[in-house]
Structure 1
Amino acid sequence: MNAYLQDNNQLFQLISEGDETAFRQLFHLYVPHLRAMAFRIIQNESVTEDIIQETFLRLWISRDKLKAIEQPRSWLYRIALYQCFTYLRKQAVHHRAVASLTPVEPVFSPEEDMTYAFMKEQVGIAVQQLPPQAKRIYLLSREQGLKIPEIAAKLSLSPNTVKNSLVRSLHSIRGHLKQLGMLFPLLILWLLKL
């Protein structure tokens, strides 16, 4: 057994007995290598630091199992890699969730594009015909993206008043479109921004 592996095994043995000095020594020995590896994968300095901390935290928490580990270096790298891939997996899930919530402009054929533009114009006309307060609430909701409680606070109204106003506005806009023979689900009106 080479001296390097033996030293690592000895450090793991000491750490398993609760030796904090051995833990610090192992920490200083491996942090530069683990940091370089994690940064190559993550490409984010603060997340890399979090991964290093989590790796050594797991080592300390699992110190009673360290005596059985034959390849300390491989074990540490495996923990750090696991932390990196866990982070990347969570980021991928987060990005997919955000992408699914982000409204995407639909791709239309020229005829559909004209219909869409006409409908958007008619929604604008219907909004202009709303009573002043209803129009203001609708525009705060659609143009500024404010939520009902935010609109209520901004206009000194109750959230129920704002919600009822939005429902009546959408009903009025839908009625305007229905008169023109444009039958669209309420969800389309909700997503359609001027």
Structure 2
Amino acid sequence: MQSAVHDKELFRLVAEGDEAAFRRLFHAYVPKLLPAVQHLTKNAAVTEDILQEAFLKVWLSRDKLPEVEHPRAWLTKIVYHQCFSYLRRQAVHDKALHVIGEQPEATSMEDDLAFNRLLRTVAEAVQALPPQAKKIYLLSREGNLKIPEIAAQLGLSPNTVKNSLVRSLQAIREQLAEAGHVLPLAVLWLFLFGE
């Protein structure tokens, strides 16, 4: 069992940018956290993604590590937050699929035309975004990058990226509404960001 004193020392080293200490922290905690995450997600690949995302957050927030009094509890909280974010997204995704699944399977030519108009309106709305917002949106939607990955690639804070995506979603939603397309926010988010 790893001691809290040892963990605090690792946190201090990670806060200073010590990558070897970060690897030790990762290898010490992943085996402890993996079974619980696996139990919640029921998916090995998702479990791995969640753990990697959680430790990426630790690295990106390393300046806060010296203030953490209970490292194990803090790490566990971050991992569980990632789990529940995934489960919440999955529930929205499943609900959207269920709603879509209730629609008749055969689409008419009119439905196809409406969908193509919707795609054109979204493309126009994306083109109208400010350059940085457009870049962030495209990295998210077409590059399939997560907020921390976009932040790291563009040298921005994750909050800046998240706020930009929210503003882009609002702008796209307004343009869709002006064009007569009304989608529930959850379905629009799934359509635009695939989450």
The residue that corresponds to 2:26 in the other structure is 27
CA distance in structure 2 between the aligned counterparts of 1:141 and 1:41, rounded to whole angstroms: 37
Deviation at 1:147, TM superposition (A): 3.9
Structure with bigger gyration radius: 1
TM-score by length of 2: 0.53
Segments of structure 1 that go 5 or more residues without pairing to the other structure are 106-139, 150-194
Q: Secondary structure at the match of 2:3?
A: helix
Q: In the alignment, which residue of structure 1 is the partner of 2:40?
A: 41
| Aligned AA (1:18) | G
C-alpha separation in 1, matches of 2:78 and 2:44: 18
8 A contact 1:141–1:148 mirrored in 2: no
- Per the TM alignment, residue 103 of structure 1 is displaced from its structure 2 partner at its CA by 2.3
Distance 1:3 1:103 in 2: 51
Q: Which residue of 2 aligns with 1:69?
A: 68
Partner of 1:10: 9
**Letter aligned with residue 47 of structure 2:** T
Q: Which amino acid aligns with 2:37?
A: A
Structure 1 runs (4+) greater than 3 angstroms displaced: 146-149
Identity %: 45
Give the TM-score of the pair, scaled to structure 1: 0.53
- Measured after TM superposition, the shift of residue 94 of structure 1 is 1.0
Matches within 5 A, 1:141-160: 141=107, 147=112
The one-character-per-residue Cα deviations of 1:121-154 (angstroms, maximum 9, x if unpaired) are xxxxxxxxxxxxxxxxxxx855xxx9459xxxxx
CA RMSD of aligned residues (A): 2.7
Distance 1:60 1:3, change over 3 A: closer
Deviations 1:148-187 (A, max 9, x none): 59xxxxxxxxxxxxxxxxxxxxxxxxxxxxxxxxxxxxxx
- Unpaired runs of 5+ residues, structure 2, are 115-195
